Every structure is written in structure tokens, then in C-alpha cells.
Structure 1
Amino acid sequence: MLTWHIEALNLKLKYTWKIARNASNEKLNFLVQVSDGTFSGFGEAAPNIRYGETPDLLLQQYQVLLMAGLAHMKSMEDLLQLLQEHPPVNALRFAIESAYLHYFCQHKGIAVHQLLGQPAPGPQATCYSLPIMEAGQVQAFMQAHNLGRFRSLKVKVNQEQGLDLVQEVLRTTSASVVIDGNESWQTPDDLITFLHALDASRVLFVEQPMPASHAAAYAHIKESSPIPLVADESVTDMADFELLRNEFHGINIKLMKAGGYLNAVRLLKEARKHGMMVMLGCMVETSLGIWSAMQLSGAFDFADLDGFLIVENEPFQLVQEQEGMIYLK
């Protein structure tokens, strides 16, 4: 019989993490462990309120899975069946699936990427994300955190300050820039005005500027946008690629949203089949979550795996960063 354990990870952040819909100075994640007494596997859950994921709900669903027989799983097939019968939120599903898969790979002496059919993870360039701030704070923030070492920067924006903030970042750095609107824009006309005011030679793409519900507006804007659009909140564990390819040029796949390694690989294959660019993203996570994402990183076009870098006193040190490249320890 397997022993499962969950514990809270109270993560203090290095600075206020502000995006279009909220701001925080700390993050509550969870560490999930499974062990047979000899071999162990660990997984991380980073709940996100945007998808209705709260710590209390996550813990309640974990208890439901325990009572439903989580300790008696004898194969990945058994586990997937249990998760289908008692579906948890995606962040918890990923933590449980990844913990079991890590345990299984350790038990069998198989590399995680090999089991997933992915290329071996190597050093990976990542962008670094700037939270929303006043334009006048950009230069000091970039100097304080030595952001000149990154090849690309991601700028979190809202509609009100977005253009001023992006232009200040572009003035301050020669790096390429990605813009993340986190569904801040509400009307297509305002968004088109913003997109045409950007320097298309410096901005790689814009992530999810309008709400996921604005499918028709995205389809209209895609053809006229001077900058590629990438879906984030429009892609969770499910994705209608027949619609998405008409709305966006690419998608952002996050393991926490996908609800597991296996579904993330499925989404990746579907995106490739439909000719879409794929980026690999993350939530605010420890290096355990980033280590997990790196098991797939070799198959993606772009990586945004900086979530562990904004955690003060990151607890696991499974991934290291040097000159904008991240490495498995």
C-alpha cells in the first residue's frame, strides 16, 4: 500500500506580484508526496483562483481521493481511472499525477522525460516576467534584479498603464519583449489601438489580452493584428483547436492548467497538428514545479519558466538559473 502526504508551502515573494486581476506578496502552494517506504515521488500544486482553485477546495478534494482509494493505486491506469471518477481541480490533479509518475520512474529506473516520450531536458532559456508597475519604476526594478541577463522579458500589463509600461521597458532594454494582458482589455477597438501602437520589431507576441469568452472578437482581430496573439486563459485542460487556430497564433501550455503531464503532451501534439506556436508556461511555483515543466521543455518553441525566481528562499533548489538559462541541478 502507498502512503500519501500533503503539506502547505507558504511562499514569500521577493516583491509584490501584480497582474491585471490581482496582486500578492505571498503564495500558498502544496507539496504532495507518495511513497512505498523505499521509493518516493513528489508533486506540486499551485492553485489559481482564476480557475476556481482555492486551498480549501484543494484539500477537500484531496481527502475525497484518499477515501476513494488513492493509497491502493497499483498502476498509472488505476490512478487515471480514480481521477476520472473523482475529478479534482487541475492543480491538484497535476500534483497527484506527477508525484505518482515520479515515484513510478524512480521505482523502475526510468527517466521522466523518457517515459513521456520527450527529448532529454537540457539548459533552457527562459524569459523573466515583470509585474505591473509605474513606468517610472522600471529602470530601478530592472537594475535591482539584474534583468539584463535575460534574452527576453515578459511584461504584465493592464489596459490603463499598458502602453506606457511597455514603451518604458523597450527604452530600458534591448531584449525582446512578450506582453501578457491577463484578459484586461474588454473591447476589440481598444485592443487594436494598443497593438498598433507597439513596436512590432521588438514585441514577440501578446498573451491573452481579452477574456477567454471573447472568441468572436479574437477571430476578428487575429487577421489584422501586427503582433502574434497567444492563448493562455483560453486553454486549460481542454482546448478546441478548431476554434483556437482561428483566434490565436499560438498557445501557452502550463502543467498546472493541463492537469498533468499526460494531458500536457496531448495538448502539445494537438497544437502542433494545427500548426500553432507552443510556449511552456508556469504559475508562481517552486523549483519542483519548474523541474517538472523542464521534462517537456525541449519540445516547445518558447519557455516562460521563471516562477521559482520570484520566490524568496526557494525551498528545493532543483533548478538553477545563470545568465538567463535554467539548468536541472
Structure 2
Amino acid sequence: MLTWHIETKVLSLRYTWKISRNAADSKINLFVRVSDQQFLGIGEAAPNVRYHETPELLLQQFQNLLRNGLAYIRSISELETLLKLYPVANSLRFAVESAYVHFICWQQQLTVSQFLKLPQPETVPTIFSLPIMAPELIGDFIKVNNLTRFSPLKVKVNQTDALVLVQAVAAVTVSPIIIDGNEAWTNPDELLVFLRELNGLPILFIEQPLPASQLEAYQYLKKQSPYPIFADESVTNEPDFEKLRAQFHGINMKLMKAGGYLNGLRILQETRAYGLQPMIGCMVETSLGIWSAMQLCSGIHYADLDGFLILKEEPFGMVKEEDGQLILNK
């Protein structure tokens, strides 16, 4: 019999994290622990309000798993069966599955990459994301935080100030720029006007500018856009790749939305199989979640794993960053 435990932790941020749909000065993440009194595994959940996930919901769902036999599972396949019978939010599913995988790996003296049958990258270059702010503040923000060590830089934008925000970044760095709209636009033709105004700027690609529900608009946009379009909010735990490849050039897979290592790996494999560019992203997470994502980074085009770098206090110390490179702490 295993002992399972969950706890919440308030993570204060170094600055206001603002995207097109919300802003926050702190995040509440949850941490799942599983132990047999000798070996321990820990997994992280970062609830996402975009998908109606809350700490309260995750706590309720975890208790339901306990009531229905979580303590008695003896294998990954048994855990998967339980999670199919009693579905939970994807972020909690990842926390539970990753905690159990970490437990098994410690017990069997395996690395997580060995368990997943993947090469383990020692270092991973990460994208760094800038939150939405007044355009006149961007230059100082990049300088004070020494953000020129990262390449590419990602700029969170809203529809109103998108052009001046991107221009402000381009004025102070030679880094390629990724534009992340977080579904800020609703009209693809208005979006195309904006994209054409970017001519001459070092734009790498555009991430999820329209709502995920606008399937036909994305098909139109993919044909018309001067830049590649990557999916984020359009991809959760069961992506429809036939539809996605007609809408996007690349896929941003996040373990908190995939719901586990195994499904995240499947999504990355299918991304490649459908001729799309794979990317790994994150929520605001501790180094535990980032360390987990790094296990899947072999052969990835882009890694956007900066979520732990905006925390005032990072509790685990499992990853360090040097000159824009993420390094696994042993």
C-alpha cells in the first residue's frame, strides 16, 4: 500500500505576469507525493484557469482518487486504468502520473529519461517570455533582467498594443522574436494586417493568435500568414492532428495540458509524424515541473521552459539557468 499526499503552495512572482486574458502576482500550484516509506516521488500541478482548473477542484478530484483505490495501484497500467475510470483535470493527472513515475524510477534506480526510453539532454536552451507591459517599460525591463542572454524572446501581446510592444523589443535586442497572442484576436483579417506591419522585424513565429474554436479561421490564416503559426491553447490531452495540421505549422506541447509524461511523449511523436514542428512549453511552475519537461526535450525545435525563472523563491533547485541554457541539477 502506498501513501499519497497533496498540498498547495502559493508561489509569489517577481513581477506581474500579464497575458491577454488575465494577470497575476502569484500562482497556487499543487504538489503530489507518493511513498512506500522507503522511496518517494513528487509531481507538480499548475492549474490553468483557461480550462476551468482551480486548486479547489484539483483537491476534490484527488480525494476522489484516494477513495477509489489510488493507494493500491501497483503499476503504471493500473494507474492509467484508475485515471480513465475517474478522470481528473489534466494538470492533476500530470502531477499524479509524474509523482508515480518518479517513485518508480527511484525504486528501480532508473532515470526518468531511461524510463521513457529517451536521451537525457544535459542542457536545454530556453525561450524567455515577456509579459504584457507598457511599451515604454520594455527597454529597461530587458536591461534590468539581462534578458539579452536568451534567444529567442517571446512577447506576450494584446490586440491593442501588439505592434508597439514588438517594436519596443526589437529596438533593444537582436534576438529573434516570437509573438504570443493567447487568443487575443477574433478576426483573422485584422490579424493579417498586424502581421504585415511586422515586415522587417526579426519575427520567428506567431503563437495562438486566435481562439482555439476558430478552426476555419486558422485554416485561412495558415495559408495567408507571412509567418509560421504555432498552436498552444488548441492542444490539450487529445489533439486532433488531422485538423491541427490544416491550421498550424507547429505544436506547443505542455505536460500540464497533456496530462502525463506518456501522453506528452505521444503528442510529440504525432506532431512529428504529421510534419509539424514540436515545441515544449510550460505554465508558471517550479523547477520540479521544468525538470520534468526537460526529460522530453531531446530533438525538440523550441523549448519555452522559463516558468520557474519568474518565481521570487524557487523551492526545489532542480534546474539552474546559465546564459539562457537550462541545466539539470544532479
Settle same-fold status: TM greater than 0.5: yes
4+ runs of 1 displaced by more than 2 Å?
A: none
State the one-letter code of the partner of 2:304.
D
Secondary structure in 1 aligned to 2:224? coil
Deviations 1:240-295 (A, max 9, x none): 11111010000100000000000001101111110000110000000000000000
Q: Quote the Cα distance in structure 2 between the aligned partners of 1:99 and 1:200.
A: 46
Structure 1 counterpart SS, 2:168: helix
> Residues 135-284 of structure 1 correspond to what in structure 2 (within 5 A)?
135-199=135-199, 202-284=202-284
2: CA distance, partners of 1:197 / 1:270: 34
Deviation for aligned residue 1:200: 6.0
Residue of structure 2 equivalent to 1:93: 93
What is the RMSD of the two structures over their aligned residues, measured on CA atoms? Answer: 0.8
State the distance in 2 between where 1:300 and 1:47 align.
Answer: 25
Who is 1:313 aligned against?
313
Identity of aligned residues (%): 55
Unaligned runs of 5+ in 1: none
* Contact 2:70/2:82 (<8 A) preserved: yes
- The equivalent residue for 2:34 is 34
Matched residue, 1:83:
83
TM-score, with normalisation over the residues of structure 1? 0.99
Quote the residue 2:53 is aligned against.
53
Letter in 2 for 1:33: R
318 and 199 in structure 1: CA distance in 2 versus 1, 3 angstrom threshold: farther
What is the TM-score normalised by the length of structure 2?
A: 0.98
Once residues 313 and 327 of structure 1 are traced to their aligned partners in structure 2, the CA distance between those partners, rounded to angstroms, is 18
Distance 1:248 1:145 in 2: 32
Q: Distance in 2 between matches of 1:239 and 1:79?
A: 22
Comparing 151-160 with 113-122, greater Cα deviation is found at 113-122
Mapped partners of 2:286, 2:251: distance in 1: 23
Question: 1:268-326 CA distances to partner (integer Å, 9 max, x unpaired)?
Answer: 11111100001100000000000000000113110000000001111111000010000
**Is contact 1:118–1:299 with CA below 8 Å preserved after alignment?**
no
Amino acid at match of 1:118: L
Deviations 1:202-223 (A, max 9, x none): 1111100000000000001101
SS at match of 2:101: helix
Q: State the alpha-carbon separation in 1 of the partners of residues 257 and 203 from structure 2.
A: 25
Confirm whether residue 291 of structure 1 aligns to residue 291 of structure 2: yes
Q: Distance in 1 between matches of 2:171 and 2:245?
A: 33
Residue matched to 1:21: 21
Partner-residue secondary structure (3-state), 1:299: coil
State the alpha-carbon separation in 1 of the partners of residues 182 and 160 from structure 2: 13
CA distance in 1, matches of 2:208, 2:33: 34
Alpha-carbon distance in structure 2 between the residues aligned to 1:227 and 1:117: 34
Give the distance between the partners of 2:238 and 2:300, measured in 1 at CA: 19
**Equivalent residue letter for 1:161:** D
Question: Aligned AA for 2:205?
Answer: F
Matched position secondary structure for 1:300: coil
Distance in 1, Cα, partners of 2:317 & 2:324: 16
Paired AA for residue 119 in structure 2: P
Tell me which amino acid in the other structure corresponds to 1:318. Answer: M
- Whichever residue aligns with residue 30 of structure 1, its letter is L
For 2:9 and 2:321, locate their aligned partners in 1 and report how far apart those are by CA, in whole Å: 21
Query: Cα deviations across residues 181-219 of structure 1 (Å, max 9, x unaligned)?
Result: 000001011111111111466111110000000000000
The one-letter amino acid of 1:300's match is I
Matched length: 329
CA–CA separation in structure 2 for the residues paired with 1:199 and 1:63: 53
**In structure 1, the residue corresponding to 2:171 is in which secondary structure?**
helix
C-alpha distance in structure 2 between counterparts of 1:299 and 1:108, whole Å? 26
What does residue 4 of structure 2 align with?
Answer: 4
Partner SS, residue 298 of structure 2: helix
Find the aligned partners of 1:302 and 1:250 in 2 and give their Cα distance: 10
- Separation in 1 of the partners of 2:120 and 2:112? 9
Cα distance in 1, alignment partners of residues 15 and 221 from structure 2: 35
Moved more, 115-124 or 253-262: 115-124
Cα distance, 1:75 vs structure 2: 0.7
1:111 aligned onto 2:111: yes
Q: Is the 8 A contact 1:119 1:299 kept in 2?
A: no
2:327 matched to which residue of 1?
Answer: 327
The whole-number CA distance in structure 1 between the counterparts of 2:298 and 2:256 is 18
Q: Could you say if the C-alpha distance between residues 244 and 200 of structure 1 is closer, same or farther in structure 2, counting changes exceeding 3 Å? A: farther
The structure-2 alpha-carbon separation of the partners of 1:172 and 1:201, relative to structure 1 and needing over 3 Å to count, comes to: closer
